[in-house]
Chains A and B, each alone.
Chain A
Amino acid sequence: MNKLLLVILAMLTCMQGYSQEKFTISGTVRVQKTGETIIGASIKAGDAGTFSNDYGFYSISLPAGKYTFEVSAVGMLIHTRSIELGNDMTLNIALEEEPKTLDNITITATSKNRSLSSPQMGIERLSTKEIRNIPVLLGERDVLKTVQLLPGIKAAGEGNSGFFVRGGAADQNLILLDEATVYNASHLLGFFSTFNSDAIKDVTVYKGGMPAQYGGRLSSVLDIKMNDGNNQDYNVSGGIGLISAKLNVEGPIQKDRSSFLITGRRTYADMFLKLSNDSALKNNTLYFYDLNAKLNYNIGDKDRLYLSGYFGKDVLAAGQTFGLDWGNATGTLRWNHIFSNKLFSNTSFIFSNYNYNISIRNGANEFDIFSQIRDLNLKQEFQWYINNKNNIRFGLNSVHHTIRPGEVRPSSGQSSINLSLLQKRYSWENALYFTNTWKATDKINLTYGLRLTSFSILGEGDFYNIDNEGSVTDTLSYTKGAFIKTYINPEPRVAASYQLNETSSVKASYVRNVQNLHLISNSTTASPTDKWVASTNIIKPEVSDLFAVGYYKNLWDNNYELTFETYYKTMQNQIDYRDGANVFINSDAIETQLLFGKGRAYGIELQFKKKAGKLTGWLSYTLSKTEKRINGINNNKWYNARQDRTHDLALVASYQISKKWTISANWIYYTGNAVTFPAGKYHVNDQTYFYYTDRNGYRMPSYHRLDLGATWVLKQRKRFSSELSFSLYNAYGRENAYTISFRESEDNPGKTEAVQLALFKYIPSVSYNFKF
């Protein structure tokens, strides 16, 4: 706490010396047609500038005088007006959408400007407009897959919505939907994400330098904001694709004051399965659905309430004998309050749930397996626009986690399976944070802050001591409500930028992150049955320290942008599995299956982006290394992590041919993942087995793929518009290795052979979207 006070004092000292009287302009930025608030709109007056916050609110303070006041945002016409400032003003701005004509496409180039002056680095922001033309697997637009085309962010596998950021594992990404944690962001074993792009307003990815309001995961933050709903007019839009259909309905409840939004999506491939003559397909079930809903209500000028929810579920069944369903549910109730034109407050109550259920009906072995993680979460945040040089954010966050690690229930009296309920695990996570963005000079900007987190493991429950071989030596029992152990971690967050000239800047940052919830998985693909476990007396909080330096340059009238970042990251208390580990073990002591160690990752990331014109897109390249050292694996030596890939390249381009046609393409190339291949073979149990020496000593073959897409606008009227989208995934039919396995040769049993499995070859798709 002393450190915190010191930093607060230091911060207060930089606020002195503003004697000239200033006035404040504040307000909310919206889209004129829909009333949707705009996140990250740029507001400029004189030499002062700011961005609208997550709720569209801004505040800017200036001495009395005449100014040109300018508001701009991606895809919007610039709003300019002259103002004469003599007292505090409220200016609510409604921006008009940029008309879709070819002549003025360059209009927004200036607002697309990556902020050179902001110290924030490692950030990528995507609006759903930007991702709409990118070709995707089976025509399902997907933010998580688009994000993977950015430098430093790697796909977890073919067609997979899981991703790795700067050497971090897939569970080290904090994925938020309207502030609620989404514990499993994938559908259908990872091929689709839980985010229906129709319901989404804004996607922000922090791959480093995350501000102090975020915490809880080591590697990245993916902050997804849902649309609020049109408060001007009723709107229905929808789409029919190869595998799913979507419908979005929104409109005002009371014009200008309140609105609602409901978006649903369901896959219908299973309905075709039913029509199939092949009985192997007919009797199986495989589908998912998503439902997003949101209500918001303006109570006067100073208060606004939002209620948003998400519910999604996957259902998979093989005849009567096997079933698996899983899904997330989240709910967020938020209250914005404007205390003054300089102080903005948001209070959120958040609920988040993930669970799965497996049912097995196999003769005498009839049982269900259930597992769940559930959060109750309170966030309070203040944004205090002190003056044009200091902008403070501070708040607190308190989350109660309940984990039900595994519950096995016999489903009939004769089942040979016993009732077995693993102990529920309770924990309480708290954070206090503050951060200040300080404009030190015209050229130097600093953001400094601290997130102080505590993680308390609560009773009741049994905890264990474990020896080096993984055997329980001691059981410690605690009563209900007992504080078993509390981990306290200060997480400093510092970033600085130095503007070299009008078009270029350099930035540096350091950030520490702590993670207390860990995903236990023992398979190559992300599985819905992967387990979340909280830190225990043995599983220590994971800690990462990330240092990054970057260079940013805007070129040719801001139409092009060059970004270069390099980073070094260390990770402590990383988790791996003992040889022969069984994560389905019927024991509360999951720690007996685990090993602990550390990790390191470093790399450089380059992005060259063309932001305006008929042709837009980017080229991104990452050169990186990720290694782990775990006691008990690879003779305790450093080895390549599975997600280690040396080169990673993505080329994304979209070209507007005419008012009706847009074509797009992306090409991806990366070095294969690190993988363990056999060092030899031997004979036991009357067959051939393989033996291994170095962990991850080999690489999968390089991966590359070209996707093509085209969008054809059929109708573009005021009341009705429609379009057809075509895409071809893996256009040149590259057989990329999904897995490589080893076996006795089928043709020649005297030999062994390596077999590559490739998943997708030429997947064409078409979808129809409409809006009225």
Chain B
Amino acid sequence: MRIVILFGLILSISFMSCEKVIDVSLKDSEKLYVIEGILTDREGDCVVSISKTKNFDDDNIFEGLGDAVVSVTDDEGNTTALPEATTGVYRSATLTATTGKAYMLEVNINGQTFSASCIMPVKVKMDSLYVKEEGFFGETIKLANVQYEDPVVKGNNYRFIQYVNGIKEKNIFIRDDDYSDGNTSTITLFTAPDEDEDEIKSGDKVRVDMQCIAPALYKYWYSLDQGASGGSNSASPANPVTNIEGGALGYFSVHTVESKTVVVP
């Protein structure tokens, strides 16, 4: 539901609004651990990154935190240790996830323990990826579309990541089957022309990763997008609903991945 954004656009079109950078003095606060854990059905994707929060006025270089003990255990009790690959980044080159199985992430750092668990969802195939022109407030813009067949059982959740000429787009594209269960579904990866992203042009290479994600992760991405992106649409910004226990920010997602690439005609 991007109605609010549309309202915003209409407002800025209708009235002479003006934007400026201001100084806001924000209090420093306690630093929290940030854990980003990913496990997929593809070898080499399993990676856990650990960092900390910073003050608003600090720079955006988030250094990884080393010396953590990281492991993933499946519901049959098989534990895989994730050694540190580069500072703060812990990897397993071989670990993959199987549909229906639960995986538990455990992170020990400086005497603190964080854990999270996630069940690998059913894989849904990406049937096609194509770029189509859409009218938007009178302009014509090129947008990527993904088509897939949603399974008849309710509870499928998807996330799409778009790369244009190898550059990852910032928008979070998620979709559930709340209103479209069991249907041939198309999602338009909608990027408004005034957003920071470059518009898609003829000749561009568009790649889309389609992930089948767990319901808890749908909620995470939804609430991250609504509440933590710094925008002003939400009445009450808040931290996203995480599946990590122990007081860290971030998430642990076990999901399927499928990529397709098209060259824009």
Contact = CB atoms under 8 A, between A and B. Distances in A.
B24 interface: yes
A726 interface: no
Contacts of A751: 59-60
A418 B183 contact: yes
A620 to B, nearest CB: 27
A685 interface: yes
A479 interface: no
Given A742-B230, A751-B59, A679 B27 contact: yes
Contact of A683 (B24, B60, B224, B233): B60
A582 interface: yes
Contacts of B19: 755-758
B261 interface: no
Contacts of A761: 16, 18
Contacts of A278: 138
Interface stretch (A55-63, A86-94, A356-364, A532-540): A356-364
A196 to B, nearest CB: 21
B10 A286 contact: yes
Contacts of A763: 15
Contacts of B18: 735, 757-758, 761
A339 interface: no
Interface residues of A, number: 91
A755 B21 contact: yes
B138 A579 contact: no
Contacts of B76: none
A701 B24 CA distance: 9
B1 A584 contact: yes
A483 interface: no
A283 B137 contact: yes
A755 B22 contact: yes
Contacts of A681: 53-56, 58, 60
Given A580-B240, A750-B59, A284 B34 contact: no
Contacts of A682: 32, 34, 51-54, 62, 249-250
Nearest to B22: A756
A418 B22 contact: no
Given A279-B139, A759-B11, A580 B226 contact: yes
Contacts of A340: none
Nearest to A701: B22
A176 to B, nearest CB: 27
B249 A269 contact: no
Q: Which of B29, B62, B183, B237 is most buried by chain A, counting CB atoms within 10 A of its CB? A: B237
A324 interface: yes
Given A527-B4, A580-B238, A687-B170, A318 B17 contact: no
B219 interface: yes
B36 A684 contact: yes
A580 B29 contact: no
Contacts of A678: 26, 56, 230, 237
A316 interface: yes
Contacts of B62: 682-683
A685 B57 CA distance: 21
B229 A692 contact: no
A749 B227 CA distance: 21
Interface residues of B, number: 88
A754 B229 contact: no
Interface stretch (B95-103, B110-118, B172-180, B200-208): B172-180
B199 interface: no
A565 B136 CA distance: 52
Contacts of A693: 29-30
Contacts, number: 246
Nearest to B178: A586
B224 A689 contact: yes
B188 A740 contact: no
A316 B8 CA distance: 13
A512 interface: no
Contact of A680 (B53, B134, B182, B251): B53
B73 interface: no
Contacts of B231: 741
A627 B61 CA distance: 38
Contacts of A412: none
A420 interface: yes
Contacts of A584: 1
Contacts of A743: 230
Interface in A175-189: 189
A757 B22 CA distance: 10
A280 B56 contact: no
A685 B223 contact: no
B37 to A, nearest CB: 10
A269 B23 CA distance: 36
Nearest to B21: A753
A19 interface: no
Given A319-B137, A362-B134, A523-B4, A757 B232 contact: yes
Contacts of B54: 680-682
A522 B234 contact: yes
Contacts of A279: 138-139
B153 to A, nearest CB: 14
Contacts of A580: 219-220, 222-223, 226-227, 238, 240-241
B1 A744 contact: no
Contact of A690 (B15, B183, B228): B228
Contacts of B60: 681, 683, 688, 744, 749-752
A112 B139 CA distance: 57
A211 to B, nearest CB: 33
B132 interface: yes
Contacts of B250: 682, 684
Interface in B1-16: 1, 3-4, 6-7, 10-11, 13-16
Nearest to B18: A758
Contacts of B147: 364
B158 to A, nearest CB: 13
Given A321-B134, A682-B249, A690-B237, A742 B56 contact: yes
Contacts of A417: 179-180, 183
B192 to A, nearest CB: 11
Contacts of A286: 10, 14
A683 B51 contact: yes
B260 interface: no
A381 to B, nearest CB: 38
B259 interface: no
Given A685-B172, A741-B230, A691 B17 contact: no
Contacts of A690: 56, 228-230, 237
Given A286-B10, A677-B26, A740 B232 contact: yes
A577 B53 CA distance: 26
B106 interface: no
B56 A524 contact: no
A739 interface: yes
Contacts of B34: 682-684
Given A269-B14, A689-B224, A692-B228, 20 more contacts: A189-B11, A280-B137, A283-B135, A284-B10, A322-B6, A364-B186, A408-B179, A418-B182, A577-B235, A579-B223, A676-B238, A679-B27, A681-B54, A690-B56, A691-B249, A695-B238, A738-B17, A751-B59, A757-B17, A759-B11
16 contacts: A282-B138, A284-B10, A418-B180, A579-B239, A642-B236, A680-B56, A681-B53, A682-B32, A682-B54, A741-B232, A745-B21, A746-B196, A756-B20, A758-B17, A760-B17, A761-B18
Interface of A: 189, 269, 278-284, 286, 316, 318-322, 324, 358, 362-365, 367, 408, 416-418, 420, 521-525, 527, 529, 576-577, 579-580, 582, 584-586, 642, 676-693, 695-696, 698, 701, 735, 737-746, 749-761, 763
Question: Shortest 5 CB-CB distances between A and B: which pairs?
Answer: A580-B223, A742-B230, A739-B232, A364-B186, A283-B138
Interface of B: 1, 3-4, 6-7, 10-11, 13-24, 26-32, 34, 36, 51-62, 132, 134-139, 145, 147, 150, 168, 170, 172, 178-186, 188, 196, 219-220, 222-224, 226-241, 249-251
